[in-house]
Chains A and B, each alone.
Chain A
Amino acid sequence: ETGVTQSPTHLIKTRGQQVTLRCSSQSGHNTVSWYQQALGQGPQFIFQYYREEENGRGNFPPRFSGLQFPNYSSELNVNALELDDSALYLCASSLLGRGVVGYTFGSGTRLTVV
Chain B
Amino acid sequence: DAKTTQPPSMDCAEGRAANLPCNHSTISGNEYVYWYRQIHSQGPQYIIHGLKNNETNEMASLIITEDRKSSTLILPHATLRDTAVYYCIVNQAGTALIFGKGTTLSVSS
Residues of chain A touching chain B, judged by Cβ–Cβ distance below 8 Å, are 4, 31, 33, 35, 41-45, 48, 50, 56, 58, 90, 92, 94, 96, 100, 102-108
Contacts and interface: CB of A to CB of B under 8 A. Distances in A.
Given A42-B100, A102-B34, A90 B93 contact: no
Contact of A105 (B45, B51, B96): B45
A96 B94 contact: yes
Contacts of A103: 44, 46, 97
Contacts of A48: 95-96
B97 A43 contact: yes
Given A43-B44, A100-B32, A105-B43, A56 B49 contact: no
A94 B43 contact: no
A41 B99 CA distance: 9
Nearest to B35: A102
Which of A41, A45, A100, A104 counts the most B-chain CB atoms under 10 A from its CB? A100
Contacts of B36: 102
B52 to A, nearest CB: 13
Nearest to B48: A102
Interface residue range, chain B: 20 to 34
Contacts, number: 56
A90 B44 contact: yes
Contacts of A92: 43-44, 97
A104 to B, nearest CB: 7
A35 B51 CA distance: 24
B98 interface: yes
A41 B101 CA distance: 6
Nearest to A110: B41
A107 B46 CA distance: 13
A45 B100 CA distance: 11
Interface string B7-30: 000000000000000000000000
Q: Which 4 A-B pairs have the closest CB atoms?
A: A102-B46, A105-B43, A42-B99, A45-B96
B46 A44 contact: no
B59 to A, nearest CB: 11
